[in-house]
Chain A
Amino acid sequence: MSELQTDRAKPLDAGAWVPEIIAFCCNYCAYAAADLAGSRRMQYPSNVRVIHVPCTGKIEMEHILSAFEKGIDGVLIAGCLEGGCHFLEGNLRAKRRSEYLQEMLDQIGVGRDRLRMVNLSAAMAPTFVQRVEEIVDKVKSLGPNPLRKSGVP
């Protein structure tokens, strides 16, 4: 996942912490919804880095763990509405994997709330914006990834 190794967005204000969030967006819904939000000039927090995936079912658990180990503050997985997956059940598999990972993140000490999976359709640009704002708010309330606070990475 070379995307995870790219430079992160710099804080807007030196010294002020701005959460860095990765959004894994399914090609058939969330990515198109993000695109639509852009076309409609809808504003959403700029500290969310979108990663385009063919289906949320293609997101491996290692990708998410790797992101957290590298210090990302939150991860959003945005897939199709349940029953609406282009590949039939990729989003349902992603849901089960997210739940497993949330449990694991609790055991690690990073905390389950930094990972969230949401479902939406390609037409739901306002919902996409809302979900992004929600995770940014949630992560802001949680503070920086504790791995980053402890000087790592």
Chain B
Amino acid sequence: MIVASPKPVTELKQLIDRHKKVLFVGCGTCVTVCLAGGEREVGIAGYATRMARKLSGQPVELEQVTIERQCENEFIKDLAGPIERAEAVVSFGCGAGVQAIAERFPSKPVYAGLNTNFLGILEEQAVWTEKCMACGDCMLAEFGGICPITRCAKHMLNGPCGGSTEERCEVAEDRPCAWQLIYKRLSAIGQLDRLEKIQPPKNWSLAWFGGARKLVRPEHRV
């Protein structure tokens, strides 16, 4: 899922300082699960922003709505009424959600209420880690299901860098060395022979370097 985190109250307040009537929009999908932009978090941000604005002598009128999914027009269309009533929108969705709303309602300012962090999983309560960088050419099969593109700080494809200590990455002490994990995993599943293959340079043209990517699947087009 997409993992995001809340912006500080001071930044939220500054985002909407030129508006008097603002709509806060939560998203019921990824950011609800990662406790950043669901109905509750939008409520908390609402209390905080209202109070901060009152104290600065510029009260703001906030309306709050949380929709099922901000990245799909089918759900966004339900926002037409509330957006019509507001001067501006703060989206508590991921970056895709913010832009989806902005595209759908071109005449309204739409601001991001969250920082979108990464694609990851919940490791334990309130701890998330990045697992995928969406490189567009998945190589997980070669590495026992552990992604060196994402989890190795240097994106090494042919073994560890040699800087790791005690199975930990030299870049961050709390991060396991991806190549140590790959070795353990391939040992466990009896596929260590995969490490004998030299990986050629990766096809990065499918990744993010060429700008925003577009995917068209004709078989599902109507």
A96–B155 alpha-carbon span in the complex (Å): 36
Tell me the count of chain A residues lying within 8 A, CB to CB, of chain B. Answer: 15
For the complex, would chain A's binding face be called helix, strand, loop or mixed by DSSP majority? helix
Residues on B with beta carbons closer than 8 Å to the beta carbon of A104: 9, 48
Tell me the nearest residue of chain A to B56, going by C-beta: A109
User: Which one of B15-23, B39-47, B115-123, B131-139 contacts A?
Assistant: B39-47
Contact between chains at B47 and A109 (CB < 8 Å): no
A107–B14 alpha-carbon span in the complex (Å): 12
For the complex, would chain B's binding face be called helix, strand, loop or mixed by DSSP majority? helix
Interface residue? A61 (CB, 8 A): yes
Contact between chains at B52 and A62 (CB < 8 Å): no
Whether A65 contacts B40 in the complex (CB less than 8 A), given A107-B9, A152-B59, comes out as: no
Q: Which of B8, B55, B59 contacts A146 (CB 8 A)?
A: B55
Whether A108 contacts B57 in the complex (CB less than 8 A), given A62-B40, A62-B43, comes out as: no
Interface residue? B54 (CB, 8 A): yes
Residues on B with beta carbons closer than 8 Å to the beta carbon of A109: 51-52, 55-56
Residues on A with beta carbons closer than 8 Å to the beta carbon of B50: 69
Whether A65 contacts B55 in the complex (CB less than 8 A), given A107-B9, A108-B9, comes out as: no
Contact between chains at A62 and B44 (CB < 8 Å): yes
Contact between chains at B51 and A147 (CB < 8 Å): yes
A93–B10 alpha-carbon span in the complex (Å): 25
CB distance from A55 to the nearest CB of B (A): 17
Interface residue? A68 (CB, 8 A): yes
Contact between chains at B55 and A107 (CB < 8 Å): no
CB distance from B203 to the nearest CB of A (A): 44
Contact between chains at B54 and A152 (CB < 8 Å): yes
Contact between chains at B54 and A65 (CB < 8 Å): no
Contact between chains at A65 and B8 (CB < 8 Å): no
Count class of interface residues, chain B: 10 to 19
Residues on B with beta carbons closer than 8 Å to the beta carbon of A146: 55
Whether A147 contacts B54 in the complex (CB less than 8 A), given A62-B47, A69-B47, A107-B48, comes out as: yes
Residues on B with beta carbons closer than 8 Å to the beta carbon of A147: 51, 54-55
Tell me the nearest residue of chain A to B40, going by C-beta: A62
A66–B55 alpha-carbon span in the complex (Å): 15
CB distance from B109 to the nearest CB of A (A): 23
Contact between chains at B56 and A108 (CB < 8 Å): no
Contact between chains at A110 and B51 (CB < 8 Å): yes
Residues on B with beta carbons closer than 8 Å to the beta carbon of A69: 47, 50-51
CB distance from A96 to the nearest CB of B (A): 9
Interface residue? A43 (CB, 8 A): no
A4–B166 alpha-carbon span in the complex (Å): 53
Residues on A with beta carbons closer than 8 Å to the beta carbon of B43: 62
Interface residue? A2 (CB, 8 A): no
Residues on A with beta carbons closer than 8 Å to the beta carbon of B9: 104, 107-108
Residues on B with beta carbons closer than 8 Å to the beta carbon of A107: 8-10, 48, 52
Task: Give A contacts to B, CB under 8 Å.
Answer: 61-62, 65-66, 68-69, 104, 107-110, 146-147, 150, 152
Task: Give B contacts to A, CB under 8 Å.
Answer: 8-10, 40, 43-44, 47-48, 50-52, 54-57, 59
List 23 interface pairs A-B (beta carbons < 8 Å), by A numbering. A62-B43, A65-B44, A65-B51, A66-B47, A69-B47, A69-B51, A104-B9, A107-B8, A107-B10, A107-B52, A108-B9, A108-B48, A108-B51, A108-B55, A109-B55, A109-B56, A110-B55, A146-B55, A147-B54, A147-B55, A150-B54, A152-B54, A152-B59
